[in-house]
A and B are shown apart, each in its own frame.
Chain A
Amino acid sequence: MSWLRRGSSEPLWKEEFPVHTADERYVTRRQLTKFLVLTSLGMFAGNLWILIRSILYKAPLYPQQPIAQLGEIPVGGVKLFTYPTKEDHCIMIRTGEDEYVSYSQKCTHLSCAVYYSHADHRLECPCHQGFFSIKDGSVLQGPPPRPLPRIVLETRGQQLVAIEVKG
Protein backbone atom coordinates (compact mmCIF):
# COMPACT_ATOMS: atom_id res chain seq x y z
CA MET A 1 0.00 0.00 0.00
CA SER A 2 3.04 2.28 -0.31
CA TRP A 3 1.49 3.88 -3.43
CA LEU A 4 -1.17 5.34 -1.17
CA ARG A 5 1.48 7.29 0.74
CA ARG A 6 2.95 9.09 -2.24
CA GLY A 7 5.09 12.14 -1.58
CA SER A 8 5.69 11.29 2.03
CA SER A 9 9.31 11.00 3.01
CA GLU A 10 8.57 10.50 6.69
CA PRO A 11 8.51 7.03 8.23
CA LEU A 12 5.01 5.72 8.96
CA TRP A 13 5.38 5.92 12.75
CA LYS A 14 6.22 9.62 12.47
CA GLU A 15 3.12 10.25 10.36
CA GLU A 16 0.86 8.38 12.77
CA PHE A 17 2.07 10.30 15.82
CA PRO A 18 2.31 13.95 14.73
CA VAL A 19 3.85 16.64 16.91
CA HIS A 20 1.28 19.32 16.00
CA THR A 21 -2.31 19.10 17.28
CA ALA A 22 -3.74 20.26 13.92
CA ASP A 23 -2.17 17.28 12.18
CA GLU A 24 -3.78 14.88 14.63
CA ARG A 25 -7.22 15.48 13.10
CA TYR A 26 -5.89 14.23 9.79
CA VAL A 27 -4.43 11.14 11.36
CA THR A 28 -7.66 10.10 13.09
CA ARG A 29 -9.72 10.68 9.92
CA ARG A 30 -7.21 8.83 7.77
CA GLN A 31 -7.11 5.93 10.20
CA LEU A 32 -10.90 5.73 10.34
CA THR A 33 -11.03 5.80 6.53
CA LYS A 34 -8.47 3.00 6.40
CA PHE A 35 -10.53 0.99 8.91
CA LEU A 36 -13.70 1.52 6.85
CA VAL A 37 -11.95 0.41 3.65
CA LEU A 38 -10.59 -2.69 5.38
CA THR A 39 -14.13 -3.48 6.60
CA SER A 40 -15.31 -3.07 3.02
CA LEU A 41 -12.64 -5.58 1.97
CA GLY A 42 -13.99 -7.95 4.63
CA MET A 43 -17.53 -7.64 3.22
CA PHE A 44 -16.19 -8.35 -0.27
CA ALA A 45 -14.30 -11.38 1.03
CA GLY A 46 -17.54 -12.62 2.62
CA ASN A 47 -19.39 -12.32 -0.68
CA LEU A 48 -16.53 -14.12 -2.46
CA TRP A 49 -16.72 -16.92 0.11
CA ILE A 50 -20.46 -17.31 -0.58
CA LEU A 51 -19.74 -17.34 -4.33
CA ILE A 52 -17.09 -20.05 -3.95
CA ARG A 53 -19.40 -22.12 -1.74
CA SER A 54 -22.18 -21.90 -4.34
CA ILE A 55 -19.81 -22.86 -7.18
CA LEU A 56 -18.49 -25.85 -5.23
CA TYR A 57 -21.97 -26.87 -4.04
CA LYS A 58 -22.98 -30.38 -4.95
CA ALA A 59 -26.56 -31.56 -4.66
CA PRO A 60 -26.72 -34.17 -1.90
CA LEU A 61 -27.53 -37.73 -2.77
CA TYR A 62 -30.54 -38.87 -0.77
CA PRO A 63 -31.13 -42.46 0.22
CA GLN A 64 -34.29 -44.25 -0.84
CA GLN A 65 -36.10 -45.26 2.28
CA PRO A 66 -39.41 -47.12 2.68
CA ILE A 67 -41.69 -45.07 4.94
CA ALA A 68 -44.95 -46.95 5.20
CA GLN A 69 -47.31 -49.39 3.55
CA LEU A 70 -50.18 -48.02 1.47
CA GLY A 71 -53.27 -47.85 3.64
CA GLU A 72 -51.22 -48.24 6.80
CA ILE A 73 -52.62 -44.97 8.18
CA PRO A 74 -56.22 -43.78 7.82
CA VAL A 75 -57.25 -40.69 5.83
CA GLY A 76 -56.32 -37.69 7.98
CA GLY A 77 -53.85 -39.82 9.89
CA VAL A 78 -50.22 -39.03 10.56
CA LYS A 79 -47.00 -41.00 10.68
CA LEU A 80 -43.72 -39.71 12.04
CA PHE A 81 -40.41 -40.93 10.67
CA THR A 82 -36.81 -39.80 10.20
CA TYR A 83 -35.27 -38.97 6.82
CA PRO A 84 -32.60 -38.71 5.40
CA THR A 85 -30.72 -39.16 8.70
CA LYS A 86 -31.88 -40.28 12.15
CA GLU A 87 -31.71 -36.65 13.34
CA ASP A 88 -34.08 -35.30 10.65
CA HIS A 89 -37.60 -35.82 11.91
CA CYS A 90 -40.40 -35.75 9.35
CA ILE A 91 -44.16 -35.98 9.30
CA MET A 92 -46.34 -37.75 6.74
CA ILE A 93 -50.05 -37.05 6.43
CA ARG A 94 -52.60 -38.99 4.44
CA THR A 95 -54.72 -36.19 2.97
CA GLY A 96 -56.94 -38.32 0.72
CA GLU A 97 -57.65 -41.86 -0.32
CA ASP A 98 -54.55 -41.94 -2.53
CA GLU A 99 -52.87 -38.72 -1.44
CA TYR A 100 -49.92 -38.50 0.89
CA VAL A 101 -47.80 -35.48 1.73
CA SER A 102 -44.67 -35.38 3.80
CA TYR A 103 -42.60 -32.53 5.24
CA SER A 104 -39.71 -31.95 7.57
CA GLN A 105 -41.05 -31.63 11.09
CA LYS A 106 -38.58 -28.87 11.91
CA CYS A 107 -40.13 -25.38 11.86
CA THR A 108 -38.07 -23.03 9.67
CA HIS A 109 -38.27 -20.36 12.37
CA LEU A 110 -36.57 -21.85 15.42
CA SER A 111 -36.72 -25.59 14.70
CA CYS A 112 -39.63 -26.53 16.98
CA ALA A 113 -41.49 -29.66 15.93
CA VAL A 114 -44.61 -28.92 13.86
CA TYR A 115 -47.74 -31.04 14.20
CA TYR A 116 -50.80 -31.64 12.06
CA SER A 117 -53.95 -29.80 13.09
CA HIS A 118 -56.80 -31.94 11.79
CA ALA A 119 -59.44 -29.30 12.57
CA ASP A 120 -57.72 -26.54 10.59
CA HIS A 121 -56.12 -28.85 8.04
CA ARG A 122 -52.67 -27.30 8.37
CA LEU A 123 -49.32 -27.84 10.03
CA GLU A 124 -48.81 -25.79 13.16
CA CYS A 125 -45.77 -24.83 15.17
CA PRO A 126 -46.79 -24.50 18.85
CA CYS A 127 -43.82 -22.33 19.85
CA HIS A 128 -44.62 -19.10 17.99
CA GLN A 129 -47.88 -19.89 16.19
CA GLY A 130 -46.33 -20.45 12.79
CA PHE A 131 -48.78 -22.14 10.41
CA PHE A 132 -47.90 -24.01 7.22
CA SER A 133 -50.06 -25.09 4.31
CA ILE A 134 -50.66 -28.81 4.05
CA LYS A 135 -50.67 -28.55 0.23
CA ASP A 136 -47.16 -27.25 -0.37
CA GLY A 137 -45.65 -26.46 3.04
CA SER A 138 -45.78 -22.68 2.42
CA VAL A 139 -46.04 -20.29 5.35
CA LEU A 140 -49.64 -19.26 6.10
CA GLN A 141 -48.98 -17.21 9.18
CA GLY A 142 -46.37 -16.39 11.77
CA PRO A 143 -42.63 -15.79 11.91
CA PRO A 144 -41.23 -18.71 9.83
CA PRO A 145 -39.21 -17.19 6.97
CA ARG A 146 -39.33 -20.17 4.59
CA PRO A 147 -41.65 -23.03 3.66
CA LEU A 148 -41.16 -26.44 5.23
CA PRO A 149 -38.80 -28.71 3.25
CA ARG A 150 -40.89 -31.27 1.39
CA ILE A 151 -40.08 -34.98 1.36
CA VAL A 152 -40.71 -36.41 -2.09
CA LEU A 153 -42.59 -39.70 -1.87
CA GLU A 154 -42.90 -42.40 -4.49
CA THR A 155 -45.24 -45.37 -4.57
CA ARG A 156 -43.50 -48.67 -5.26
CA GLY A 157 -45.95 -51.55 -5.21
CA GLN A 158 -47.58 -51.34 -1.81
CA GLN A 159 -44.83 -49.24 -0.32
CA LEU A 160 -44.34 -45.49 0.09
CA VAL A 161 -40.69 -44.65 -0.42
CA ALA A 162 -38.99 -41.34 0.44
CA ILE A 163 -36.58 -40.43 -2.35
CA GLU A 164 -35.60 -36.76 -1.95
CA VAL A 165 -35.85 -33.59 0.15
CA LYS A 166 -36.87 -30.43 -1.67
CA GLY A 167 -36.56 -26.89 -0.30
Chain B
Amino acid sequence: MRSPSELPPQNRGLTAIGGAMSLIAVLLIVQIWLLTASLESFLAGNRHTALPAAIFSGLMFLVCLGLYAFVARVDSGVHGPKGR
Protein backbone atom coordinates (compact mmCIF):
# COMPACT_ATOMS: atom_id res chain seq x y z
CA MET B 1 0.00 0.00 0.00
CA ARG B 2 1.36 3.41 -0.94
CA SER B 3 1.79 6.19 1.61
CA PRO B 4 -0.09 9.49 0.97
CA SER B 5 3.15 11.17 -0.17
CA GLU B 6 3.53 8.55 -2.91
CA LEU B 7 0.04 9.14 -4.30
CA PRO B 8 -0.37 11.30 -7.40
CA PRO B 9 -1.07 14.97 -6.48
CA GLN B 10 -4.68 14.75 -7.72
CA ASN B 11 -5.47 11.78 -5.45
CA ARG B 12 -3.82 13.48 -2.47
CA GLY B 13 -6.07 16.45 -3.08
CA LEU B 14 -9.14 14.25 -3.22
CA THR B 15 -8.22 12.61 0.11
CA ALA B 16 -7.79 16.00 1.78
CA ILE B 17 -11.09 17.21 0.34
CA GLY B 18 -12.82 14.02 1.51
CA GLY B 19 -11.49 14.53 5.04
CA ALA B 20 -12.63 18.16 5.11
CA MET B 21 -16.06 17.15 3.81
CA SER B 22 -16.41 14.53 6.54
CA LEU B 23 -15.56 17.13 9.20
CA ILE B 24 -18.09 19.56 7.74
CA ALA B 25 -20.75 16.82 7.71
CA VAL B 26 -20.12 16.03 11.39
CA LEU B 27 -20.28 19.73 12.32
CA LEU B 28 -23.50 20.08 10.34
CA ILE B 29 -25.13 17.19 12.20
CA VAL B 30 -24.18 18.84 15.52
CA GLN B 31 -25.62 22.15 14.25
CA ILE B 32 -28.90 20.49 13.26
CA TRP B 33 -29.16 18.90 16.70
CA LEU B 34 -28.33 22.26 18.33
CA LEU B 35 -31.04 24.04 16.35
CA THR B 36 -33.74 21.48 17.22
CA ALA B 37 -32.71 21.46 20.89
CA SER B 38 -32.69 25.25 21.20
CA LEU B 39 -36.03 25.52 19.36
CA GLU B 40 -37.57 22.94 21.69
CA SER B 41 -36.16 24.83 24.66
CA PHE B 42 -37.43 28.17 23.33
CA LEU B 43 -40.93 26.82 22.77
CA ALA B 44 -40.90 25.37 26.29
CA GLY B 45 -40.32 28.86 27.66
CA ASN B 46 -36.58 28.64 28.48
CA ARG B 47 -35.02 31.68 26.86
CA HIS B 48 -31.55 31.52 28.44
CA THR B 49 -30.34 28.74 26.10
CA ALA B 50 -30.66 30.82 22.93
CA LEU B 51 -27.44 32.85 23.35
CA PRO B 52 -24.95 29.98 23.95
CA ALA B 53 -26.65 27.97 21.19
CA ALA B 54 -26.26 30.85 18.72
CA ILE B 55 -22.61 31.37 19.70
CA PHE B 56 -21.70 27.70 19.27
CA SER B 57 -23.63 27.48 16.02
CA GLY B 58 -21.78 30.55 14.71
CA LEU B 59 -18.43 29.04 15.71
CA MET B 60 -19.26 25.82 13.92
CA PHE B 61 -20.31 27.76 10.83
CA LEU B 62 -16.97 29.62 10.89
CA VAL B 63 -15.09 26.31 11.13
CA CYS B 64 -17.13 25.00 8.16
CA LEU B 65 -16.28 28.16 6.23
CA GLY B 66 -12.60 27.70 7.03
CA LEU B 67 -12.76 24.10 5.86
CA TYR B 68 -14.42 25.22 2.65
CA ALA B 69 -11.62 27.74 2.11
CA PHE B 70 -9.18 24.87 2.65
CA VAL B 71 -11.01 22.75 0.07
CA ALA B 72 -10.92 25.62 -2.42
CA ARG B 73 -7.19 26.13 -1.78
CA VAL B 74 -6.42 22.41 -2.21
CA ASP B 75 -8.50 22.41 -5.35
CA SER B 76 -6.67 25.36 -6.91
CA GLY B 77 -3.33 24.00 -5.63
CA VAL B 78 -3.81 20.68 -7.42
CA HIS B 79 -4.88 22.25 -10.67
CA GLY B 80 -2.70 25.34 -10.52
CA PRO B 81 -3.81 28.80 -11.58
CA LYS B 82 -4.09 27.71 -15.23
CA GLY B 83 -4.45 24.03 -14.71
CA ARG B 84 -7.57 23.48 -16.76
Q: For window 1-16 of chain A, which residues contact chain B by CB distance below 8 Å?
A: 3-10, 14-15
Point out the residue from A4, A43, A54 that lies within 8 Å of B68, measured CB to CB: A4
CB–CB B24/A50 < 8 A: no
Interface string of A81-124 (1 = CB under 8 A from B): 00000000000000000000000000000000000000000000
The answer to whether A43 touches B72 (Cβ under 8 A) is no
Give chain B interface residues in 47-69, CB to chain A under 8 Å: 47, 50-51, 53-54, 57-58, 60-61, 64-65, 67-69
Instruction: Tell me the complex Cα distance, A61–B72, Å.
Output: 53
Q: Is the CB of A25 within 8 A of B54?
A: no
Q: Contact partner of A29 among B21, B76, B80, CB < 8 A?
A: B21
Whether A75 is near chain B, meaning CB under 8 Å from some CB there, is no
Are A26 and B57 within 8 A (Cβ)? no
Contacts of A15 on B, CB cut-off 8 Å? 84
- Interface-centre pick from B13, B51, B60, B64 (highest chain A CB count, 10 A): B64
Q: In the bound complex, do residue A43 and residue B84 qualify as a contact, i.e. CB atoms below 8 Å apart?
A: no
Q: CA–CA, A156 to B59, complex, Å?
A: 53
CA distance A44 to B65 in the complex (A): 12
Contact indicator A54/B47 (Cβ below 8 Å) = yes
B69 touches A50 (CB 8 A): no
Q: Which of A30-38, A64-72, A129-137 contacts B (4 or more CB under 8 A)?
A: A30-38
On whether the beta carbons of B28 and A40 are closer than 8 Å, the reply is yes
B81 within 8 A of A: yes
Given A47-B35, A54-B42, A23-B57 contact (CB < 8 Å): no
Cβ of B34 and Cβ of A43 under 8 Å apart?
yes
Contact A32 B61 (CB under 8 A): no
A32 contacts B21, CB within 8 Å?
A: yes
How far, in Å, is B18 (CB) from chain A's closest CB? 7
Contacting B at CB under 8 A, from A108-167, are: 145-146, 167
Do A8 and B47 have beta carbons less than 8 Å apart? no
Given A40-B65, A51-B54, list of 20 further CB < 8 A pairs?
Answer: A4-B72, A5-B72, A18-B84, A29-B18, A33-B24, A33-B71, A37-B61, A43-B57, A44-B54, A47-B38, A47-B50, A47-B54, A47-B58, A48-B57, A50-B50, A53-B50, A54-B50, A54-B51, A55-B50, A145-B44
